[in-house]
Structure 1
Amino acid sequence: MNPLPVTEADLQGYVDGLLPQERLADVAAYLERNPEEAERLRTYRHQNQALHLLFDPVLDEPLPARLSARPSSNWELLRRYAAVFIVAIFAGAGGWYLHGAAQSSPVGWIAAAAGSATRVDAPLMMARRAAVAHAVYTPDARRPVEVGADQEEALVRWLSKRIGADVHAPKLAPLGYELIGGRLLPGQSAPVAQFMYHDGAGRRLTLYVSTDQVQNKDTGFRFAQEGTVNVFYWIDGKFGYALSGSIDRTELARIANSVYEQLDKPVR
C-alpha cells in the first residue's frame, strides 16, 4: 500500500511538533528525498525559536500596580492568552510578521488589553521590527541573506532602488565584522533594507535601514532590548537606523557610533 502524499499541513505539523506519530516516518523519508524542503523547515524552526525568545518573556511580566485591584487570575489568563496569541500568529506567519506588526502593533495590542492608553512611538516600533528581523534571519546558517557580499555593488543598487533612497553598507572590518550581505524587508508602508555582518566567532549583527518614518525629527542614540537582542536606533532626516545584535551593550554602542559616522558622510 502506497503511503499518503506529504502535504503542507504535514510539514507544518512536523515543524510545530504536532504531527501524528503514524506520519513521522513518511515525512522524514520525504525530507530525505527533498533536501530543499528540509532546509525550508529548518528555517521555520529557527524562526519559531527566535520568536519564542522574543515574546515568551511576556508570560513573566509583573501585574501592573494600577490593576492590582483586579482578580489576579483574570490578569494571568489574559496575559497568557496574549503571549500565546502573539507567538502563534508570528510563528505561523514567519517573515510576514514584519509587515503585519506595522499594521497592528502586538505591543500596542497588549497595552490596550491591559487597559493602558499608552502607544509605542514610531522609532521604537522600528527598533522592535528590526530586533525581530534580526532574530528571524541571523540563525539561518545557509541563507541568511538574499544577496551576498560578493555582489555588494549590485546589492546596494538594488536596495537603494527598492527603498527609494541611496543606501550603503558601512565598513565594519576594523571593528572585527565583515559584511555577509543583505535583504529587502517589508516596513510599515514601504520596503526597508537589512545588512548583515559577522565576526570571526560567528556572532552576527544587522543594520536595519528605513525611510518609512512617521516623524522625521532627528534623534540621538536610543537603546532597546527585545529578549537577548540589543538594539541601538536613531533617526537622521528621512532615514531610520537600527543596529541589532546579541552582544554586549558597550560593544554594540561602539559599533553604532562607527556606523553613524560613516552614514553621516557622503558616499564615495
Structure 2
Amino acid sequence: MTGDGPIGEDDLQAFVDGRLSSTRLETVKVFLASNPPLASQVQREIEQREALRARLAFKAQEPIPARLRVSNLMAAPRRTSRINRASIAAAVALLVVGGALGAAGSSWWFSRTMQDTSVADNAIAAHRIYVSERVHPVEVPAEQEAHLVQWLSRRVGKPLTAPNLNAQGYRLIGGRLLPSNGEAAAQFMYENAGGNRLTIYARSGGSEAQTAFRFEEQDGISAFSWIENGLSYVVSAKADRAQLLPIAESIYKQFEAPGGATRGRL
C-alpha cells in the first residue's frame, strides 16, 4: 500500500488497529489532522479498543480447562469421537481467542465480536459513524423510499417501514444495511431543520416476544430500545431523555401490529 491513494474506511480501520505501513501511516495522520471531527471519532474508536482489550485481558490469563486440553481429548475412547471432535474445535478456538486477546496487535473488530455487544451498543456505534457523514450518510436516499424499505425488509427477514416523523420535526433522508453480530440490520436516518440527525435501527433475533422501553445514554447519545414481534429496535439521537421519549413512542406506534399491547415506560 502506497501513500498516494485516497484515504478510505480500510485505512482508518487499519490506523485504529495499528496495521498501517510507515508511509501510509504518515499520510493518514496528515489527513486526520485536517479533519478534526473525523480525528476525534477515530480517537474514540482507539480508546474503545484499548478499553475493551483491558476488559477482556483476563481471558488470556485463564488456564485451559483440563477437559478441553487436546491431549486429554485425543486420549478419550473412540466411541465418543464425534463429541471429541467438537470439543477439540472448542479447545482450539479457546487457544486462538487467548492468543488474539493477548497479542499486542489484536484486531479491534475481533474483540468487539468476542464481547457479544448488545443491539443497543451496535446501534449507537452505527449512529456515531454515519450521522457525521455529510457526503454519504445513507446508502439509499429517501427519494427511493419504497425500494429502501423493500430491500431492508428482505435482508432483515421481517417487514419494516420507515416511520413518518414529520410531526416531530424530522424528515427521512434515507437508510442503509448494516452487519450486526452475524445478522443483517437496517438503519433509517432522519434530520431536522437544525441539522440534528436521528437514526432508527432494526434487526431480527430478539430473544423475547416483547419488552418495555429501555433507555441508555453513551457520551451524549441517547437511545431507547425495545423488542417487538421478534425484532429489536433502537432509536438514537443527540437529545435528552424527555426529548427522545415521545419520538420513540411515535415510532413504536407506527411499527406496532394491530392489537399490540401498550408499551411500558422506564
TM-score above 0.5: yes
Q: Secondary structure at the match of 1:205?
A: strand
Tell me whether 1:104 sits opposite 2:114 in the alignment. yes
Q: What is the TM-score when the length of structure 1 is the normalising length?
A: 0.61
- What is aligned with 2:3? 6
Tell me whether 1:180 sits opposite 2:177 in the alignment. no
Q: Which amino acid aligns with 2:209?
A: K
In 1, Cα distance between equivalents of 2:3 and 2:218: 37
- Tell me: CA distance 1:25–1:100, structure 2 relative to 1, closer, same or farther (3 Å): closer
Q: Larger relative CO (CA 8 A, sep 6+): 1 or 2?
A: 1
1:158 to 127, 133, 151: 151
- Tell me: CA distance 1:26–1:255, structure 2 relative to 1, closer, same or farther (3 Å): closer
1:69-148 counterparts in 2 under 5 A? 89-90=107-108, 97=109, 101=112, 103-105=113-115, 125-148=118-141
Count of aligned pairs between the two proteins: 202
Shift of 1:225: 1.7
1:48 to 39, 42, 45: 42
Shift of 1:6: 2.4
- What is aligned with 1:239? 231
2:182 to 189, 203, 206: 189
> Please, which runs of 5 or more residues in structure 2 have no aligned partner?
56-100, 259-266
Q: Which amino acid aligns with 2:192?
A: D
1:210 to 184, 203, 215: 203
- Tell me: CA distance 1:47–1:259, structure 2 relative to 1, closer, same or farther (3 Å): same
In 1, Cα distance between equivalents of 2:15 and 2:251: 37
Percent identical pairs in the alignment equals 32
Q: Which amino acid aligns with 2:114?
A: S
CA contact (8 A) 2:138 2:175 kept: yes
Q: Which amino acid aligns with 1:105?
A: Q
- Tell me: CA distance 1:146–1:135, structure 2 relative to 1, closer, same or farther (3 Å): same
RMSD: 4.2
Shift of 1:10: 9.0
> Please, which runs of 5 or more residues in structure 1 have no aligned partner?
32-37, 62-81, 91-96, 108-124
In 1, Cα distance between equivalents of 2:28 and 2:120: 42
Larger Rg: 2
